[in-house]
């Protein structure tokens, strides 16, 4: 056996249909396309759902509803559940996103919203993507602090870290005549020479 003796299995390969080769071939004349109509013409192509110009099904069916592409889905987390985790000593002084993921309250890339349902009476610093107004007031009422991711500004971070940036104000000096510039340069040169002699 060699490469020259290899042949495909019987029936696996068929000869292509040769159309338009005269009446004797049995496929002449209309060339298997039938008589007239769109499909008999060259260059015909039918897009999906096309029904010959009739109103297609996908347009006849009534539509309703709307899907907002910018919608944000938040996973709810109640204050009562946080209280239970604190009582079980799984949370100490603060609760942030990393700790939520470790405790299985949240998956990566998910957003969380803190809700006020349940009993809550502890002092805790909580960081989350969003808070309900009632949950925020309850946390702050018990001496805790609230940090919402995305809403925290650089100014707020500076206040938390007790860092204040000093703003440098630049004063613009307007010089009208070129003579004044020359005189100023001469005075500077004289002062430099005096300093050199003193040294």
The conformation of residue 33, written as its DSSP 8-state character, comes to: S
Whole-number pLDDT of residue 52: 86
Model pLDDT for residues 97-110, shown as the tens digit of each residue? 999 999 999 998 89
Encoded tokens for 170: 């630049």
Give the residue among 138, 120, 125 at the shortest CA–CA distance from 84. 120
Structure tokens at 31: 């060339």
How open is the CA angle 21-24-25, to the nearest 5 degrees? 50
Least confident of 97-111, 153-167, 172-186: 153-167
Q: Is the pLDDT of residue 4 over 50?
A: yes
Mean pLDDT value of segment 157-186 = 47
Whole-number pLDDT of residue 158: 44
Domain boundaries, the chain: 74-160
Residues with Cβ within 8 Å of residue 19, at least 6 apart in sequence: 25, 27, 28, 31, 32
Q: Is the pLDDT of residue 166 over 60?
A: no
**Would strands 145-148 and 111-115 be described as parallel, antiparallel, or unpaired?**
unpaired
* pLDDT for the residue numbered 141: 92
- Indicate if the pLDDT at residue 170 is higher than 60: no
CA dist., res. 111 & res. 116, Å (int): 17
Taking CA atoms, 160 is separated from 6, 131, 152, in Å, by 80, 19, 11
Least confident of 78-82, 107-111, 147-151, 171-175: 171-175
Calculate what percentage of the chain has a pLDDT beyond 70: 75
Q: When comparing pLDDT for 34 and 169, which is higher?
A: 34
CATH class for the region spanning 74-160? alpha beta
pLDDT of residue 1: 79
pTM: 0.47
């Amino acid at each position: 056996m060699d490469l020259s003796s290899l042949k495909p299995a019987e029936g696996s390969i068929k000869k292509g249909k040769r159309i338009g080769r005269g009446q004797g071939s049995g496929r002449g004349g209309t060339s298997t396309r039938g008589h007239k109509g769109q499909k008999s013409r060259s260059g015909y192509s039918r897009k999906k759902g096309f029904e010959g110009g009739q109103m297609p099904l996908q347009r006849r069916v009534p539509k309703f509803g709307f899907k907002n592409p910018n919608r944000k889905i938040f996973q709810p987390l109640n204050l009562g559940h946080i209280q239970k985790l604190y009582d079980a000593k799984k949370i100490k002084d603060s609760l942030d996103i990393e700790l939520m993921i470790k405790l299985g309250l949240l998956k990566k890339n998910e957003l969380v919203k803190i809700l006020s349902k349940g009993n809550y009476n502890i002092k805790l610093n909580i960081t989350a993507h969003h808070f309900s107004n009632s949950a925020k007031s309850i946390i702050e009422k018990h001496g805790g602090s609230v940090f919402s991711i995305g809403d925290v500004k650089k100014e707020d971070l500076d206040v938390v870290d007790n860092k204040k940036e000093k703003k440098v104000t630049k004063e613009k000096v307007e010089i009208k005549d070129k003579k004044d510039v020359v005189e100023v340069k001469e005075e500077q040169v004289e002062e430099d020479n005096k300093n050199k002699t003193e040294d």
